[in-house]
Chains A and B, each alone.
Chain A
Amino acid sequence: MGDQQRPARKTAKNRPKPASTNEPEFVQLLTPEGRRVNHPDYDLTLTDEEYRGLYRDLVVTRELDAQGTALQRQGQLGLWPSLLGQEAAQVGSGRALRPQDTVFPAYRELGVQWCRDIDLISSFALFRGTDLGGRDVAADRFNMYAIVIASQTLHAAGYAMGVAMDGAVGGDDGEAVVVYHGDGATSEGDFNEALVWAGVFNAPLVLFCQNNQYAISETNARQFRLPPYRRAEGFGVPGVLVDGNDVLATYAVTSAALDRARRGEGPSLVEAYTYRMQPHTTSDDATRYRDEAELDFWRAKDPIVRYRKWLTAEGLADEAYFAGVDTEAGELVRELRARVMALTDPEVTEMFDNVYAQTPPCIAAQRAEALDFQASLDEAAIEGSELR
């Protein structure tokens, strides 16, 4: 490039490989030790009640998620993708949303779902196998989980284009759209196409990347040479790196990105630097690719521990409050557990419903065939029992 000088800009240092034990330069408002720090571009001031509420969200999210793992271990769920360690990324961004905003999740966003005050049962039904995760997405403004990595980024970009076409952006009451994805998703074509689309159509979209350091077993080093928040800028989309284990920082950064979108100023990307404390899912064995030392490093950055320290130091909450939250979380877990156990197998006919808006004759015929076959088995069973 000869003497062409790029303008000097402040960027994070290159990530080390394997999964990092160095901290990049990110937006942080609360250190792992629970010390409140200032950032020149981002700040957050909430009411005491809201500050306490974030703690409740963090704890409840962690406990409900842990129950997902427990239910899988007990054979009540087929699979569970734990979010342990990512509570602050989800709660901070989830609480930054306004009622008019729309969420496109990946498949690990139980904490965001909790913050949106949506019934969580659909996510458990999906992993129990009693349905395919269907829900009233229009009423909830929270879409179904997306299992195919990055597929939802394009849906969100298109939806956000529609928001803009409806004239629902501009001013502080505008609508914003947020799509959740992981570090692995940034390698998919759909993610990059979503950035192109959101950029050229100036869609009110926030791409919220939970960089939890792993795509199953593969580290960031196998996904990118330049971190996602910097790659976004290549698409003309501002990117910002935030401490994903700091609930105050993720709240502040996501709020700013959403506000920018709702004002009609276009898309942006938030990369929340966090860590997946559990294996990819309950089917994964993370001991094959990472060690205890790495987990210890990240345990020291726990999002709840630091937030509790800060609340205590500030006099915003005391032991009695924390105990109350634990009690409430326990009740919520018991209630959820009972509801999950009560999810029964669907009728065989359900698979034939809603393939098309109107069931065509060929599917109706197969539905009848399946019912007849089942009835014939029942008759055979009755005859068999009579023989005995």
Chain B
Amino acid sequence: MTTMTMVKALNAGLRRVLEDQPKSLVMGEDVGRLGGVFRVTDGLQKDFGADRIIDTPLAESGIIGTAIGLAMRGYRPICEIQFDGFVYPAFDQLVSQLAKIPNRSGGRVRLPVVVRIPYGGGIGAIEHHSESPEAYFAHTAGLKVVTCSNPADAYWMIQQAAAGDDPVIFFEPKRRYQAKGEVATDAPERDLFASRVVREGTTATLIAYGPTVDVAANAAAAAAEEGLDLEVVDLRALSPIDWEPLFASVRKTGRAVVVHEAPGNVGIGAEVAARLTEECFYSLEAPVARVTGYDVPYPASRLEDDYLPNLDRVLDAVDRSLEY
């Protein structure tokens, strides 16, 4: 066991990928000499060379489009999009090309491309640096969409993403980048693109992912002081979602609250609520509640504490569920 930040865990995970898989590449804006604006790729160019840790021109569509071509040539690119709000110029290459080419080809072309995207708010950033665009990609078949909530998952999930043959959109919660956690670097391999019960409980199920797993866990800890026994589930995979652990949890507790930073409208929480209603209807004691960002553009940073789901809003939703 080693204690490290999520940034260090991602760096260590990428390092292992680069050591084990000679065809893997890291490419993006400032990932080489600078080590990335968040330092996730710090030192990699020094150790693996500028041919494998590639500083690219400043054009997101170009990053994804050329990564597709490199993958067609047998390479395994791991791309970095510098910030969530900068991914949109690459939208066609992600949803119409990367996601669909393997399917169009009848499975003859595989595109093992990982796209890392630091996402979410809570760091006091200027606009376009705090967004949560995961639903756009989860809506597109052919992409795997995952997100890590702690350093151990970050370390192993980036390796799993790089080892597979599918395109993976890998969302990294930037406000958790510097949070430390224990990482067992010799842990056995297992499927991490799967829902995980973070905390067991019986009163209600909090369903979260990425940056809101910590929010939900803190809410559950606070609720425990009031005698409420909340279960917390980390989705980790946003598409395809690993449903069974969710269904099992909600059948046990009868109540569910979904928590995410992205706007609620047509978000991941909406899909979760719909599926829970379809699959756990007779177990539900109350409608599935959602605690999300509001359906407005991400606000100026001085307002983000009011926009983002927090402990109080989560507990308020739990109270409403219990009082239903």
Q: Note whether A and B form a binding pair.
A: yes
A353, A355, A356 — most chain B CB neighbours (10 Å): A356
- Residues in chain B near residue A282, CB distance under 8 A: none
Which single residue of chain B is at the shortest CB-CB distance from A132?
B104
**Measured CA separation A136–B109 after assembly (Å):** 8
**Measured CA separation A200–B55 after assembly (Å):** 11
- Residues in chain B near residue A156, CB distance under 8 A: 69
- B70-106 Cβ-contact flags toward A at 8 Å (1 or 0): 1111110000000000000100110011000111111
- B100-126 Cβ-contact flags toward A at 8 Å (1 or 0): 011111111110000000000000000
- A115-157 Cβ-contact flags toward B at 8 Å (1 or 0): 0000000000000000111111110000110001001011111
- A355-368 Cβ-contact flags toward B at 8 Å (1 or 0): 11100111100000
Contact B61 A357 (CB under 8 A): no
Contact B142 A159 (CB under 8 A): no
Which single residue of chain A is at the shortest CB-CB distance from B167?
A356
Tally of chain A residues near chain B (CB < 8 A): 41
Is residue A99 contacting chain B, with contact meaning CB distance below 8 A?
no
**Measured CA separation A160–B165 after assembly (Å):** 21
B66, B74, B96 — most chain A CB neighbours (10 Å): B66
**Measured CA separation A166–B61 after assembly (Å):** 24
B66, B67, B69 — most chain A CB neighbours (10 Å): B69
Is residue A189 contacting chain B, with contact meaning CB distance below 8 A?
yes
- Residues in chain B near residue A155, CB distance under 8 A: 65-66, 68-69, 72, 97
- Residues in chain B near residue A131, CB distance under 8 A: 106
Is residue B297 contacting chain A, with contact meaning CB distance below 8 A?
no
**Measured CA separation A10–B142 after assembly (Å):** 49
- B199-241 Cβ-contact flags toward A at 8 Å (1 or 0): 0000000000000000000000000000000000000000011
Contact B70 A161 (CB under 8 A): yes
Q: A-B contact count, CB below 8 Å? A: 133
With A200-B57, A362-B240 as contacts: A137 and B108 at CB distance below 8 Å: yes
Contact A162 B70 (CB under 8 A): yes
Is residue B59 contacting chain A, with contact meaning CB distance below 8 A?
yes
Q: In chain A between 173 and 198, which residues have their CB closer than 8 angstroms to a CB of chain B?
A: 189-190, 193-194, 196-197
Is residue A354 contacting chain B, with contact meaning CB distance below 8 A?
yes
Contact A361 B93 (CB under 8 A): no
- Residues in chain B near residue A132, CB distance under 8 A: 103-104, 106
Contact A151 B70 (CB under 8 A): no
Contact A162 B104 (CB under 8 A): no
Is residue B243 contacting chain A, with contact meaning CB distance below 8 A?
yes
**Measured CA separation A144–B102 after assembly (Å):** 11
Contact A157 B69 (CB under 8 A): yes
| B179 → chain A closest CB, angstroms | 30
**Measured CA separation A197–B93 after assembly (Å):** 15
Which single residue of chain B is at the shortest CB-CB distance from A166?
B73
**Measured CA separation A319–B136 after assembly (Å):** 61
A157, A166, A353, A355 — most chain B CB neighbours (10 Å): A355
Chief secondary structure at chain A's binding surface: helix
- Residues in chain A near residue B241, CB distance under 8 A: 362
With A196-B57, A200-B57, A361-B240 as contacts: A356 and B66 at CB distance below 8 Å: no
Contact A353 B107 (CB under 8 A): yes
- Residues in chain A near residue B96, CB distance under 8 A: 148, 151
Is residue A78 contacting chain B, with contact meaning CB distance below 8 A?
no
- Residues in chain B near residue A133, CB distance under 8 A: 104
Is residue A24 contacting chain B, with contact meaning CB distance below 8 A?
no
Is residue B299 contacting chain A, with contact meaning CB distance below 8 A?
no
| A200 → chain B closest CB, angstroms | 6
Is residue B295 contacting chain A, with contact meaning CB distance below 8 A?
no
Which single residue of chain B is at the shortest CB-CB distance from A162?
B73
| B272 → chain A closest CB, angstroms | 13
A131, A137, A157, A360 — most chain B CB neighbours (10 Å): A360
| A343 → chain B closest CB, angstroms | 14
With A155-B65, A157-B66 as contacts: A162 and B74 at CB distance below 8 Å: yes
Is residue B51 contacting chain A, with contact meaning CB distance below 8 A?
yes
- Residues in chain B near residue A236, CB distance under 8 A: none
Contact A144 B101 (CB under 8 A): yes
Contact A194 B65 (CB under 8 A): yes
Is residue A165 contacting chain B, with contact meaning CB distance below 8 A?
yes
**Measured CA separation A148–B62 after assembly (Å):** 15
- Residues in chain B near residue A353, CB distance under 8 A: 106-107
A-B pairs with lowest CB-CB distance, top 6: A158-B69, A154-B65, A162-B73, A158-B66, A134-B106, A354-B107
B residues neighboring A (CB under 8 Å)? 51, 56-57, 59, 61-62, 64-75, 89, 92-93, 96-97, 101-110, 141-142, 144, 164-166, 240-241, 243
- 26 A-B pairs with C-beta separation under 8 A: A137-B109, A151-B92, A153-B65, A154-B66, A155-B69, A155-B97, A157-B69, A158-B65, A158-B69, A158-B70, A158-B73, A159-B73, A161-B70, A162-B73, A193-B62, A194-B65, A197-B62, A197-B66, A353-B107, A354-B105, A354-B106, A355-B102, A356-B102, A357-B165, A360-B240, A361-B243
